[in-house]
Structure 1
Amino acid sequence: MKISRSLRMSLIFGLILLNVGCDQVSKSVARNHIDARERISVIGEYVVLMKTENKGAFLGFLSSMENPILKTIFLILLPIAVLFIILRMIIITTDLDKYMIFGLCCIIGGGIGNLYDRILYRSVTDFMHIDLGGIFKTGIFNMADVSVMLGTGLLILSFIKRKEVSLS
């Protein structure tokens, strides 16, 4: 089914804004209602809310970098450039499937959410932790991270579906 360019653009920007909005609202709640060192059990010790400020990237990567210019390049300027390239690709490439479009919008929205924090607060608020014993354990993360991971999963699904179509 073909949709108009304006409807397509509205859907793309709407999905991105939905991701950014969910991320920023959840971080605001965490900043305002979770105290430092507080642990709020959501599902036993399996899902816990605890607030931390991450001055780096994913799982604190680059947080100990001393050079402020390099830190700005790697944590702000480079991500902005990558997000613009991805957005441009979504807008220009009209034959992307729905999984690819939705996945890329989630990645862009999550990226913008964390960039917003880095620029405004000089750190990213993380507040969720999952520990399913020996089965699965995360670091402390936020909804922007969930958006990026969901988007990545949808990209993988899109590639698998394309591969299946090309094999048949």
Structure 2
Amino acid sequence: MKLSRRSIFIFSVIAITIAIDQISKIWVRAQVVAGSQSEIIGDCFTLHNVENKGAFLGMGSELNDTLRIILLLILPIVVLALVLRYIFKEKALDNWSLFAFSSIIGGGIANVYDRIVYGSVTDFWHIDLGGVFRTGIFNLADLSVTTGMIILVIASFRKKKAV
């Protein structure tokens, strides 16, 4: 079976996203003391080692085990599979949208993998630009998902202007 360039592109973005995320988490687990905080660029950009049992900003970490499995493992796996199916079936997607969806899938798979293997997701970056812009503690998978979503929003506005 020969893969198309489009399929290779999709799988490459997903694989690279997962690999970079997992390498960064392995490094953080090995090199950064759990619960610590180190300044990278003053208080604006800090490095941590936090295990997050929930989802975005720890949401869902207080759920009982059954609900956490359903909402943080099963549901994301189903959604990721549906999105993957969608991008393979929807041939009209432009390269930016394919990149965005593939980044979202890669980031999602990376975090689901952590939940399955480690029971939590390792988060390690925090940005605080003096109250103007502030994030929770996040990882590269989160960054991939967020970047993919931003690209999709921009792409949807560009398509609406073109019509």
Amino acid at match of 2:22: Q
Task: Report the count of equivalent residues.
Answer: 162
Superposed CA RMSD: 1.1
What does 1:46-57 correspond to in 2, within 5 Å? 46-57=44-55
* Identity within the alignment, %: 45
Look up the SS of the partner of 2:39 in the other structure: strand
Amino acid at match of 2:86: M
Q: Is the aligned partner of 1:132 residue 2:137?
A: no
Instruction: For residue 38 of structure 1, report the CA deviation from its aligned partner.
Output: 2.1
Question: 43, 63, 66: which one pairs with 1:65?
Answer: 63
Which stretches in structure 2 are left out of the alignment for 5+ residues?
A: none
Partner of 2:93: 96
Structure 1 runs of 4+ with >3 Å offset: none
Q: Is the aligned partner of 1:142 residue 2:108?
A: no
The whole-number CA distance in structure 2 between the counterparts of 1:111 and 1:27 is 14
Amino acid at match of 2:57: L
Partner of 1:27: 25
Partner of 1:8: 6
Which stretches in structure 1 are left out of the alignment for 5+ residues?
A: none
Look up the SS of the partner of 1:129 in the other structure: strand
Instruction: For residue 5 of structure 1, report the CA deviation from its aligned partner.
Output: 6.0
Q: Is the aligned partner of 1:81 residue 2:78?
A: yes
The whole-number CA distance in structure 2 between the counterparts of 1:101 and 1:119 is 27
The whole-number CA distance in structure 1 between the counterparts of 2:39 and 2:67 is 38
